[in-house]
Amino acid sequence: MHSPIVFIDGDQGTTGLQIHERLRNRTDLELFTLAAAERKDPRRRAEAINACDIAILCLPDAAAREAVHAIVNPAVRVIDASSAHRTQQDWTYGFPEMTQGQSERIANARRVTNPGCYPTGAIGLLRPLLEAGLIPGDYPVSIHAVSGYSGRGRAGVEEHEGQAAANAPSYLVYGLELAHKHTPEIQQHAALAQRPIFVPAYGAFRQGIVLTVPLALRLLAPGVDGATLHACLARHYADAAHVRVEPLHESGVVPHLDPQALNGTNDMRLCVFSNIEHGHVLLSAVFDNLGKGASGAAVQNLNLMLAQR
């Protein structure tokens, strides 16, 4: 059997570059990308995607849909890093730790849609708690997240690292129309009955995310508290290699959350902060928006799919 051919379509963007970096020294696969002169040639791209075993699409949404439409070889499997297919029922959602059996579904899938960076943290926190019935599906969920500027792609990197970097904002809240494209993805895969309020921001650091979800215990079932929520998350991720649940932080303990703490890894760290006096709980996730939030997740999914060849 030949080494599997992995084609990265769109390897010049932030996600594609990091996937290429993670794979370039692998000896168990043949990595293929197009030369600069061929990247915008539809015929050459179609030939390349139909000649590979697994294609990783690091493209804008419209281009990702075009690439999938160009596939005529039924043996080609796809990991799409764009948001084009994340709420499509005929695509497998590429978050292996999300729920029981998800790793196996990814391993056997023909079409895998890589999660968005922000949804990875939100779904990672919420889905186990909703599945366990500890948060009702109609809870009025609000989510706030701060990402490194690389989350904007090359435009963000150029703004902060290019010639005009001195004028780049140190902190920028956006998505104020409350219609961010990640919101339907979060609602669907977290199993929320109602659309959550999602407010994202960018900071003046290259990569990393802190995402938080506040909860009022009075809106949960009687007896549900921070310890209950923490125990559920700890059980769910007990055997997860890339997701770690930190010890419960009770009232009076005020640690800091560093969005850059896990940069360069495919790991995610979850915390539960509980203020007993006020009946408030804060769920938090820290991870690399280019790691577990993008390229790391794509490689994790690729490894699962390669194991099923």
- Give the active site residues: 117
Report, in angstroms and rounded to the nearest whole number, the Rg of the chain calculated over CA atoms.
20
Token pair listed for 294: 């993008």
In whole angstroms, give the CA distance from residue 295 to residue 14: 9
In whole angstroms, give the CA distance from residue 169 to residue 216: 33
Closest C-alpha among 49, 85, 81 to residue 67: 49
The CB-side HSE value for 191 (13 A sphere, CA atoms) comes to 16
**Non-local CB neighbours of 57 within 8 Å, separated by 6+ positions:** 9, 10, 63, 64, 67, 68, 78, 79, 80, 81, 82
Longest dimension (CA), the chain: 64
* AA identity, residue 62: A
Phi, psi of 8 (to 5 degrees): -95, 115
Total H helices, total E strands in the chain:
9, 13
CB 217 within 8 A of CB 224: yes
Helix residue ranges per DSSP H, 26-78: 42-50, 61-69
In whole angstroms, give the CA distance from residue 84 to residue 252: 44
Each residue of 248-260: b (16+ CB within 10 Å) or e? bbeeeeeeebebb
